[in-house]
Structure 1
């Protein structure tokens, strides 16, 4: 149970930080998130950083970081169950070999 809680906290932090770091980078490159069109948003961005800023802008669009964290957590649960079952099977095999 504590493993699931720790895993949830780690996934939550990484999902938040990936979104926050993208916003920090956009601000660093001069992106104006309050602009109404592309001209206003990319006005202060240098020409060599346009492609990087466009990819960062695309990465923060769509579902928010809390939903990404929830999906990440739900997708790791089957992996944890699989690893637990494999560990139990390996322990049983080792126990049988030691008894024989």
Structure 2
């Protein structure tokens, strides 16, 4: 399998997780609506359960995107990950992938994936999931007022 096809396969879990972020609250809201008549309690259950599940999914996806998929791609390109010497590390890499392999290897330096996961959760997932849950509750409220 070529590196380009392998790179596309590595993006599939990311697409699935983005789809999960939109589908999970909708079905959770439908299930909570059947069992809890109070709207405020339903909203609180929806938000807190989404935040807990999304924290776990964000943690997994950040590890996948920042660490594991890059390591798998470097191994597929022929990088010797056990070596500490730069020249020895890239000597098995074909010339057409050498620049990409060095760029991916250098992108792994810096802050680690746990810190990136925390920033992603605090600044991206937390606000968007609260807004999405609010939208679901308001749409339900509009549907209740119409009927």
- TM-score normalised to the size of structure 2? 0.56
1:47-86 matches, within 5 Å, as: 47-74=95-122, 75-86=124-135
For these two proteins, the number of residue pairs brought into alignment is 97
C-alpha distance in 1 between matches for 2:73 and 2:96: 14
C-alpha distance in 1 between matches for 2:126 and 2:68: 25
- Distance of aligned partners of 1:41 and 1:81 in 2 relative to their CA distance in 1, 3 Å threshold: same
Q: Does 1:24 align with 2:24?
A: no
Unaligned runs of 5+ in 2: 1-47
Deviation at 1:35, TM superposition (A): 3.4
1:44 corresponds to: 92
Larger Rg: 1
- TM-score normalised to the size of structure 1? 0.77
Q: Which runs of 4+ in 1 moved over 6 A?
A: none
